[in-house]
Amino acid sequence: MAHILSNGILTVEIAEPGAYSGTRFDWSGFITGVTLEQGGHSFCVPESLVPGQGSGGIGLCNEFAISRAIGYEEAAAGEWFPKPGVGLLQKQSDEAYDFFGKYPLVPFIIHEELSRHSVTYTVQPMECRGYSMRLIKTITLNEDRLDITYEIENVGDKPLRIEEYIHNFVGINGAAVGGEYELRLPGMLRIAAPESSYTDNLLSLSGNNLTWKEEPDRPFYCRLEGWENAAADYYWELVHKPSGAGIRESGDFTAERIILWGEKHVISPEVFIDITILPRHSKGWKRSYQFFAS
């Protein structure tokens, strides 16, 4: 059964740990729905509209170690490695780690503390070849903002190099992707490393604004640059112009990179943080989402 947080401005649905049982996304704080009560605007959509396809992502779900799995390279086939927020995964072969892959799993134990406006998850450590960590995540409603705070304590013997982002499966009021959406970033926006000429031809830039020339008929993917030296209090802002509804992400850390992925029904700006935590040390960071309508 989903947890519901509500403060009269926002209503947020969060799946219970284990409702999503894959080995990609963090099981704690798996946010499947956000509604802005004034106007009834909705923001969360599934990764795929086809049942059984994709990796099961929906709404605001975060992932650790998409490209650099902790302890994977030095593990032998058959040995285990930790995926923060998920559990211990078993390496199957000498091939590179595949975040889409399905690995045998021993899930972490997750404790919850729930109130009307917040929920705190404590993911208990499990030692694995010198790696061990405790993750504490709190989701809080603050007027029109959804705040997510993280703290990771390294209780193992080896340093942790942690890569984290939130996939942000966003589709405002279920509207199809196209020219009615506008993505804004601080600075003079540039498209870098598009996955194909299709992505390059689909997207249109003007200053710090990005829009879509037409409704996509296939996935698009690129890296967004040009914002790195801009002084701003947000990472990105997405607006659905006909409804005036929008979402803005900010945080207390310097972004390592920003990626854009999507399909015809979903837009996913992804802001990455990259941190190193020495043994017997901890690190915390925060993300905030503001939801609004004109």
What CATH fold (topology level) applies to the domain 3-293?
Answer: Beta-galactosidase; Chain A, domain 5 (2.70.98)
How many Å apart are CA 262 and CA 273, to the nearest integer? 20
Q: How many CB atoms lie within 10 A of CB 82?
A: 27
- At 213-260, the pLDDT tens digits run 999 999 999 999 999 988 889 999 999 999 999 999 999 999 999 999
- The per-residue pLDDT for range 6-54, each reduced to its tens digit, is 999 999 999 999 999 999 999 999 999 999 999 999 999 999 999 888 8
Enter the pTM of the model: 0.96
pLDDT at residue number 229 = 83
- Alpha-carbon gap, residue 252 to 255, rounded angstroms: 9
Q: Where are the domains of the chain?
A: 3-293
CB 168 within 8 A of CB 222: no
